Amino acid sequence: MHWTDRIRLVKILLVSSAVVICIASLVWSHILVKDLAREERGRMEVWAEAMRSFEQADEQTDLALVLKVINGNNTIPVVVLAPDGSVQTSRNISLEEADEEKLNAKLLAWAEARRNAGDVVDIHLADDEVMQICYDESVMLKRLASYPYIQLGIVLIFLVVAVFALLSSNRAEQNKVWVGLSKETAHQLGTPISSLMAWTQVLRENYPTDELLPEMDKDVRRLQMIAERFSKIGSRPEPQPENINEVIAHVVDYISRRTSNRVIITTQLPAQPLYANLSAPLFEWVVENLCKNAVDAMDGAGNITITAFEEAARFVVEVSDTGKGIPKNRFSSVFKPGYTTKTRGWGLGLSLAKRIVEDYHSGRIFVKSSELGKGTTFRIELTKK
């Protein structure tokens, strides 16, 4: 399993664990609320029995105990309906209404709603008369019922903020690593390149007619350009009007000389120049990476087609190959650092290409199309400025 897949698996496990914890918390809170609701129901039944005793009290009834039970309810909203259906009394209900008739109408409506919800206790009196106690959940129970959702909402917001901050910090740290590695690579290449340039000059003076010297010069200049590319990472290069056709031609000339004869590279370029604001060394790097990946995908044999054209609002460069293809679910993953299908390699080429196109040229690079066993087309779009 690739290390990027392991990271994805860890993320899935963490998210799954969080979901299980949230569900368990909600279920437990629901059980607790139901237990408390049953307890309040029992309290209402005791309160109803106290009301029945109060209504049927005689000289031998201990009213002190009855009144203590009745007056002890300071949390559960209650409306007591007389046998004829009128409001006899109410407790713990705040209704601001000066008119007594309107107040009774509101209390009756409230009682009817609770009765429809099943929150009612019957009091059977003498002569088959029935009083009803309509009640609602206490404020504490309602708060307890809503607390888990509020808690989970706060935790969710915290997690989103934490993940966003972590990703931002991680991206900033990656940027520092990219820049530091690139600058150090350019610095380390500088000294041997200078020495190679001096030695080629010595060889040119001693062997002016040697046919290999021009090729050596090209390779040294190539190393110099690579060092320049690395030195530009992290800084903001100043784009200049460059002919995209010429940039592609340079890449094709370089790649063609260093790949097998079984790889055929063709270009489809317009007759007129395509001038876009580019950092030529960096943009060549992008096209070069796409071509090298195409060669690897074709196992060193196949066709690469580079197409460039102009649209109304952008310039477009497409690199197509006849290689293995990419599964659709991997279209976005190929640009992530570490993604590679090769047994050797760091999987940084396409990630770097994406960074160059998007961060330095304000463009887009993506997999336009791909079919397993037939090939892939990458598309680069550069907005006209």
Q: How confident is the model at residue 87 (pLDDT cuts 50, 70, 90)?
A: confident
274-311 pLDDT, tens digit each? 999 998 888 988 999 899 889 988 988 899 999 999 99
What pLDDT is attached to residue 320?
Answer: 95
329-369 pLDDT, tens digit each? 888 888 876 556 554 444 567 888 888 898 888 899 999 99
What pLDDT is attached to residue 217?
Answer: 83
Neighbours of 338 (CB within 10 A): 15
What's the burial of 183, exposed, middle or buried (CB within 10 Å: 0-12/13-18/19+)? middle
Q: How far apart are CA 168 and CA 242, in angstroms?
A: 34
What pLDDT is attached to residue 261?
Answer: 87
Average pLDDT over residues 104-113: 88
Average pLDDT over residues 57-76: 77
Q: In the numeric block, which tokens belong to residue 199?
A: 């030695």
> What is the separation of C-alpha 47 from the centre of its chain, rounded to a whole number of angstroms?
54
pLDDT exceeds cutoff 80 at 168: no
259-268 pLDDT, tens digit each? 888 999 999 9
190-247 pLDDT, tens digit each? 778 788 888 888 888 888 888 888 888 888 887 877 777 677 666 666 788 999 999 9
What pLDDT is attached to residue 123?
Answer: 84
- Between 316 and 361, residue with greater pLDDT: 316
Exposure letters 190-218 (e unless 16+ CB within 10 A, then b): eeebeebeeebeeeeeeeeeeeeeeeebe
Average pLDDT over residues 103-125: 86
143-164 pLDDT, tens digit each? 887 877 787 788 778 777 877 7
Q: How far apart are CA 321 and CA 318, in angstroms?
A: 10
Residue with tokens 């009803």: 132
pLDDT exceeds cutoff 80 at 370: yes
Q: In the numeric block, which tokens belong to residue 90?
A: 């109410």
Average pLDDT over residues 169-174: 66
What pLDDT is attached to residue 269?
Answer: 93
Helix axes 63-71, 3-55, angle to 10 degrees: 150
Cβ proximity of 125 and 110 under 8 Å: no
Q: What is the pTM of this model?
A: 0.51
**Pick from 288, 313, 278: which is nearest to 384 by CA?**
313
What pLDDT is attached to residue 133?
Answer: 87
What pLDDT is attached to residue 346?
Answer: 46
What pLDDT is attached to residue 2?
Answer: 52
13-59 pLDDT, tens digit each? 777 777 788 788 888 888 888 888 888 888 888 888 888 888 777 76
Delimit the domains of the chain by residue range: 3-137, 236-383
> Which residues are 81's β-sheet partners?
87, 132
What pLDDT is attached to residue 110?
Answer: 87
- Residue 65, CA distances (Å) to 72, 84, 233 in order: 10, 27, 85
- Domain 236-383: state its class: alpha beta
- Between 8 and 383, residue with greater pLDDT: 383
Strand 302-310 to 263-268 pairing: parallel
Lowest mean pLDDT among 177-186, 219-228, 253-262: 177-186
Q: How far apart are CA 135 and CA 137, in angstroms?
A: 7
Average pLDDT over residues 82-88: 85
Cβ proximity of 235 and 267 under 8 Å: no
Q: How far apart are CA 21 and CA 191, in angstroms?
A: 58
